[in-house]
Amino acid sequence: MQYKTIILEKRDGIATLTLNRPETLNAWNDEMAREATDAINKVDGDENIRVLIVTGAGRGFSSGVDVRKELAGIAEGAEETIFERIMQGRPSVVTIGLQLRRMDKPVIGAINGMAAGAGFAIALACDLRIASEKAQFSMAFILRGLMPDTGGTFFLPKLIGSAKACELIFTGDTINVDEAERMGLVNKVVPHEKLTEATEELVNKLLKRPPIALKYAKRAIYKGLVEVDLASHLDYEIALNRMCTHTEDFKEAVKAFLEKREPVFKGK
């Protein structure tokens, strides 16, 4: 399927989803939400895809929800708004982060420029983030008379703690990539022209890891963030690892270790 507001490319076990409204710094509208939802579902269901990269076209990652096309209508009293569409279960930018977190494949955000509002929240929903030196971040919702959605109040405090999260959310201030790295918001900062190369280097490393173990590790990490009982979580880890021991990849990993060679994993 051809999309208008996003670009979906697949090659060698890698899918790249590029937000493609560069004239608006990839601001989200209804069409982009529908197309991105469909594309992510397709990637999630494709057994040949091992890793998803999310990035933006042009100068920005995503400037958030399109103020002119979405928020202005709400301010003028539009009968149907983005919030009504969400309540009706229709595709929305608000649920994109949930899709990415529920996906069993690792998701890498290649942050090429400004990530603001919902764009910032979607960057946070990625499992790993590599940022260009030109990247900037802002929880800009408060500047539009709103509080964060799209998972912003869920993801941000877990990454940087409640006090810093309150600061960014209450002020809407923009921070540069160096400050984002100090806070732990990004895994790595690279020169702008090296962003694609650095992202592919990380992807290639993940492609050499056992897909089933990666899938279970991602599930356990995010369950652990909300699990209140350690004993229950230990039981969950054990159950997942028992399933890992029944895979061909587990047997290959042990055999390769004993034979002093690199393992070749097949996701079986």
Dist CA 153 CA 170 (whole Å): 11
At 210-221, the pLDDT tens digits run 999 999 999 999
Number of H helices, E strands in the chain: 12, 10
- DSSP string covering 202-255, please? HHHHHHTS-HHHHHHHHHHHHHHHH---HHHHHHHHHHHHHHHTTSHHHHHHHH
Residues 169 and 235 in one domain: no
pLDDT at 88: 65
Band of pLDDT at residue 75, cut at 50, 70 and 90:
low
Nearest to 135 by CA among 108, 160, 154, 110: 110
pLDDT at 33: 93
Band of pLDDT at residue 92, cut at 50, 70 and 90:
confident
Q: What is the mean pLDDT of residues 125-149?
A: 95
pTM of the model: 0.92
Q: Please, where are the H alpha helices in 127-229?
A: 152-160, 162-171, 177-183, 195-207, 211-226
What percentage of residues in the chain have a pLDDT greater than 90? 84
Q: What is the mean pLDDT of residues 50-75?
A: 84
Residues 134 and 225 in one domain: no
Residues 249 and 120 in one domain: no
Q: Which amino acid is at 136?
A: Q
Domain termination site, one of 192, 207, 222 = 207
Residues 222 and 203 in one domain: no
Q: Which amino acid is at 207?
A: L
Phi and psi (nearest 5°) for 176?
Answer: -85, 175
Q: Which residues of 163-198 are buried (b: 16+ CB within 10 A; e: fewer)?
A: eebeebbeebebbebeebbebebbbebbeeeebbeb
Which domain, by its residues, includes 25?
6-207
Taking 60 as the threshold, does the pLDDT of residue 93 lie above it? yes
In this structure, are residues 100 and 122 in contact, taking their beta carbons and an 8 Å threshold?
A: yes
pLDDT at 168: 97
End-to-end CA separation in angstroms for the chain: 29
Band of pLDDT at residue 11, cut at 50, 70 and 90:
very high
Task: Find the CATH number of the domain harbouring 104.
Answer: 3.90.226.10
pLDDT at 180: 97
pLDDT at 87: 63
pLDDT at 71: 60
At 246-261, the pLDDT tens digits run 999 999 999 999 999 9
Task: Find the CATH number of the domain harbouring 227.
Answer: 1.10.12
Question: Other C-beta atoms within 10 Å of 237: how many?
Answer: 14
